[in-house]
Amino acid sequence: MLICPLDYRYGREEMKEVLSEDYRLSMQLMVEGALALAHAKVGNIPEKDAKRIAKACAPGVVSLERVKEIESETKHDIMAMIKAITEKSGPAGRFVHLGATSNDIVDTATALQIKKALDFIEGDVLGLIKAFAALAAKHRDTVMVARTHGQFAIPTTFGFKVAGYASEMMRFLDRLREIRPRVCVGKMSGAVGTGAGFGATFFKVQEEVMQELGLGVEEAATQIVCRDRYAELANFLAMVSTACERYATEVRNLQRTEIGEVMEAFDEKKQVGSSTMAQKRNPMLSENLCGLARIVRGFVPASYEDMVLWHERDLTNSSAERFIIPHMFVLTDDILIKTKQVFEELKVNDKRMRENLESSKGMVMSEAVMLALVSKGIGRQEAHEILRRASLSSERQGKHLRDVLLKCKDLTKVMSAKELDAVMDYSSYVGSAPEIVDKVVARAKKATSSR
């Protein structure tokens, strides 16, 4: 019986495989094998015994079923695995797990899972940067109205809006690469982190294991890898998911019937928007990923709680992390993939963007006119008052702002109708938006081609 929607509805199989029980066991076995080889390398155990243990830890030798069978008796998952390895190691079994504690294996294996999962997330982020850059370049000069407080502001370009998303996602790429060495960290330092169980060879054994596995070292562990690392990871995954929710929320708003400037792709042959309202074309993918982002954020408080443990450790973090890490990775991966799909297939209605600009009756150009008046010698505050009164009059009379301004003597004495028309051209007041798009797109191309 399936209960968790990750099992039947959300997430791609490749990411779920990395966080699966089978993969987790395979990583734990890999760590045990690396530990045995490290012991042999520093002279703690015979090389032939180390190789025998490593062979027992190879894929397909120790089964999950056997480990579970033993765990039903021991009530301890790592001890069950150790016994299963010992069964397959013959006389060499006496050296399995030598000097280690459970979390030397658990946390180091988790670091391997995190490392692989971050590879997927990095690929997702790079793909989304490419999608944003392509859309931004395509709509570099597509003029639309910008909105603040939900109200018309001044003109911008759709390409500029999306370039902002690409720029933000490049910061997430930087963040991901910055946190890798802090979160892809293991330990092989025994019961309370002092390395006592490894004697004089402690530093060398730990170094050999982590080099073999391609991980960093927790330099001053307790019984576990310090959980500030996991909290930082959770915070990153929540942030990048929330950024995607921001982009999707913009799509949802711009797809509203009364705005209609963009629309998610819709399969007109088969897709259904509503079971009763046949006309509906809902932004379902955007809404879906917005909901999932809220779930991802919901795991962050628990990751902070897991930083606070009794003395060198207790067990309160363990059960929580079995939910936090897999769910946050699978859902964040799903969110990033869906965001990319939304923007790669997005329908942009530039005609409706123009119509919405026109519906403002020139009001969105009030700042442009105010600044033009300042350039003609009128004080900034006086010019602001001229436009404030004219805007109110325009709205009250339902007239175009241009027509109201041309009856304003304070304006006509310094500006001709032809000059006013030029100032009120929407495309003339997008500032450096096109050039900013060019810069962001160029940087995005560089960022995505370096991998």
Catalytic residue numbers, as ranges: 149, 274
Burial of 407 (0-12, 13-18, 19+ CB in 10 A): exposed
Q: At what angle do helices 433-449 and 158-183 cross, to 10 degrees?
A: 30
> What are the structure tokens assigned to 366, written together?
């009030």
Site of tokens 């089978």? 22
The Cα 366–Cα 163 span in angstroms is 26
Q: Please say whether the beta carbons of 155 and 143 come within 8 A.
A: yes
Query: Vertex 331, ends 237 and 218: CA angle to 5°?
Result: 40
AA identity, residue 330 = V
Query: Vertex 283, ends 281 and 285: CA angle to 5°?
Result: 125
DSSP one-letter code for 274: -
The Cα 101–Cα 87 span in angstroms is 19
Q: Helix, strand, or coil here: 96?
A: coil
Site of tokens 């033993």? 70
Q: Helix, strand, or coil here: 332?
A: helix
Q: Please say whether the beta carbons of 209 and 271 come within 8 A.
A: no
Q: Helix, strand, or coil here: 263?
A: strand
Alpha carbon distance, N-terminus to C-terminus of the chain: 42
DSSP string, 139-183: TTT-EEEEEETTEEEEEEEHHHHHHHHHHHHHHHHHHHHHHHHHH
> What are the structure tokens assigned to 447, written together?
């960022």
